[in-house]
Amino acid sequence: MTPSFALHIADADLEPEPLDPGQIVSGAPEVSGKVVWASPDGRQVRGIWQITPGVVTDTEADELFVVISGSATVEVEGGATLRVGPPGDLAVLRAGDRTTWTVHETLRKAYAITL
């Protein structure tokens, strides 16, 4: 069992997470992240994720996230357009949402995902 812990998200070191080139719509966005906790069965994941400016597509898991820095517009196919940022904004994405992320300023978020 993982002990309780605290982490300063804004300064946390992240590892590169290469994007599938098929997800990149425009620009040269780079992604990095860090899983800080996962349930034993791997269905619950908590972590930090960051992406530099550009436009990418994704298919989402059930996720709640809070913006730490930066801003983006997330278009949900057939649904809402979410503007996230400034820091402190919270967003919820549903499993299966097909999204297009337009990242205006490097976006760093803390997330909780259910797979």
How do residues 37-85 score in pLDDT, each as one tens digit? 999 999 999 999 999 999 999 999 999 999 999 999 999 999 999 999 9
Q: What is the pLDDT of residue 2?
A: 75
Q: What is the dihedral of CA 113, 53, 21, 35, to 10 degrees?
A: -30
For the entire predicted model, the pTM comes to 0.95
Q: What is the pLDDT of residue 3?
A: 86
Q: What is the pLDDT of residue 92?
A: 98
Q: What is the pLDDT of residue 46?
A: 97
Taking CA atoms, 10 is separated from 29, 83, 93, 109, in Å, by 19, 20, 22, 9
Q: What is the pLDDT of residue 86?
A: 96
User: Please, which pLDDT band fits residue 1 given cuts at 50, 70 and 90?
Assistant: low
Q: What is the pLDDT of residue 43?
A: 97
pLDDT of 34 higher than 80 = yes
Using the 8-state DSSP alphabet, how is residue 4 labeled? P
